[in-house]
Amino acid sequence: MVSPQNIVRILAVWLMINNVVAQGAETGNSSSTLIIPEPTRFVTEHRARFNGTIVNYTVTAGETYIRDADGKARASIFSFAYEKSDRRENEVRPVTFLWGGGPGSTSVNLHMGTFGPQRVSVPSDAKYPGPPPYTTVPTPETILDVTDLVFVDTVGTGFSRAIGDAEEKEFWGLYEDAQSVADFIHTWITENSRWNSPRFILGISYGTTRAGAVAKILENDMQVSLNGIILLSQALDFQGSSPYVRDNLISYITYVPTMAATAWYHGKIHPHPEDFETFISDSRRFATDELLPALFKGNAVEAAEKDRIRDRLSYFTGLSPEYVERANLRIQGTRFAKELLREEGLALSRLDARYTTDELDDLAAEAAGDAASHALGAAFKATLLAYISNDLNVDWERPYLHPGARGLTGHWRYRTVPDGQRYEPRYVNTAHDLAAALRSNPALRVLVASGYYDLATPFFDAEFTLDRHDIKRDQVKHTYYPGGHSMYVNEPSRTQLLEATRNFILSLGGS
């Protein structure tokens, strides 16, 4: 027997085929109207205990159409919305929108890594999880007791696509992408009658770049006020996380504390510090008070000072004085990942420097791949697709793109002005957008979560970025975890992150 959902799909396909035929038969200047079916949605009911509270909740896995000024649908953004279904009368329930990074990544790691009601179980100590089958376990520590959750996949990732007359590359840009996500939030809260709900946005990696721009659009252009922003593995200003640009002095400073933490983790600091936090604080002071002035002086630095800085930098990074000398005091984070354990024939992951891999070319200056990504990527994707099929009843022929559509990264547009208009290339930076949102909404607060072993978005860069760009300190709170870019794959970090996020939401209007 054909289900009602399949009947709707068959009808939609039939209509689309007839539309294409009609378009092909057109002559002259006449035009046809592209028929777009109603959004596809899969709805299921669930019940579980979170942080000691029983929650009955509805999951809507489905499309939300965003439209142009004339009301024409331009894109289908697919999301997984978890909403408490037994809300009390007049209960005001917060909603948190979560998305991944990339650009070109889905929300799968946030969904199956920590914030969803189930997660993939991977080793906490940076070991390879092995081949399938992978194990999923409940996450009673997640925050569904205090907020509804909407996991968002941007256009060209997951099930999200451009539709109608629009092309996907129209959404593949710094502010084009941010505008589409802001449009999604505006549409979603309208369609779901959530205009008066406390609102939070949460992004990881490039998702934090997006969050800064989205916050400004919501606050300044749409008058959609936010209560809080959660930034995981902050990447607002790319200058502090671009270690591969040789003349970028800032990255030689922002990476030192992460390199110090990594060298400490792998036992390369001699003598071994008694207290990790004190050692990291010392590395911060060395980077700003000693290394930065020496690099600023360049060839004008005196020989004795350069030798002293070389030896100090060697101590904090675990690299030999000879290597630091040859690098001219400029230790690139990408090369550090290959150099620290070179004698053991191992390369570090940029995303989580606890992970190592035995690469083919031990003489290369930089690692060829990323050990953490290779170890975790397949497990996250497999368990998400199994979960949404078995638990959320998602039965759709459309492929789930993770990673995103082919060509997405190559076509990504970072220009901030139209083509043909004068433009001088610069580092991507949405910290100014975040600052504007925070000025517009003085009650808005930001929670920043950083992993000590993240060589992609170093924690000292988060501090450096948010201590400037006219961002007030009392609107920002930093937290730190003994993990990497996806700090939640480390078990203590996962529970600590959830607790910090939960307390942050409760402090700003959570239920």
3-state SS, 396-432, equals: CCCCCECCCCCCHHHHCECCCCCCCCCCCCCCCECHH
177 occurs within a structural domain: yes
In terms of domains, do 263 and 208 share one? no
In terms of domains, do 423 and 341 share one? no
In terms of domains, do 130 and 67 share one? yes
Contact assessment for residue 87 and residue 106, using Cβ atoms and an 8 Å cutoff: no
11 occurs within a structural domain: no
Of 337, 372, 407, the one marking the end of a domain is 372
Q: Is the dihedral of CA 306, 348, 450, 271 positive or negative?
A: negative
491 occurs within a structural domain: yes
Task: Please state, in angstroms and rounded to a whole number, the distance separating the CA atoms of residues 508 and 445.
Answer: 8
In terms of domains, do 65 and 204 share one? yes
In terms of domains, do 274 and 231 share one? no
Q: What is the pLDDT along the chain (511 residues), one digit of tens a residue?
A: 444 455 445 444 444 434 433 333 333 333 345 788 899 999 999 999 999 999 999 999 999 999 999 999 999 999 999 999 988 878 889 999 999 999 999 999 999 999 999 999 999 999 999 899 999 999 999 999 999 999 999 999 999 999 999 999 999 999 999 999 999 999 999 999 999 999 999 999 999 999 999 999 999 999 999 999 999 999 999 999 998 888 899 999 999 999 999 999 999 999 999 899 999 999 999 999 999 999 999 999 999 999 999 999 999 999 999 999 999 999 999 999 999 999 999 999 999 999 999 999 999 999 999 999 999 999 999 999 999 999 999 999 999 999 989 889 888 999 888 888 888 888 999 999 999 999 999 999 999 999 999 999 999 999 999 998 999 999 999 999 999 999 999 999 999 999 999 999 999 986 6
The amino acid at residue 83 is E
In terms of domains, do 45 and 189 share one? yes
248 occurs within a structural domain: no
Give per-residue pLDDT as tens, 69-90. 999 999 999 999 999 998 887 8
Per the listing, tokens 């009673």 go with: 140
What's the angle, vertex CA 285, arms to CA 294 and CA 431, rounded to 5?
90
In terms of domains, do 81 and 220 share one? yes
In terms of domains, do 87 and 219 share one? yes
In terms of domains, do 445 and 306 share one? no
In terms of domains, do 88 and 212 share one? yes
Range of the domain at 203: 39-239+397-507
- What's the CATH number where 499 sits? 3.40.50.1820
Task: Look at residues 351, 96, 80, 103 and name the one whose alpha carbon lies nearest to residue 208.
Answer: 103
How many domains does the chain divide into?
2
72 occurs within a structural domain: yes
Give per-residue pLDDT as tens, 198-220. 999 999 999 999 999 999 999 99
Task: Please state, in angstroms and rounded to a whole number, the distance separating the CA atoms of residues 497 and 450.
Answer: 10
In terms of domains, do 322 and 434 share one? no
Distances from the Cα of 333 to the Cα of 214, 294, 344, angstroms: 29, 19, 19
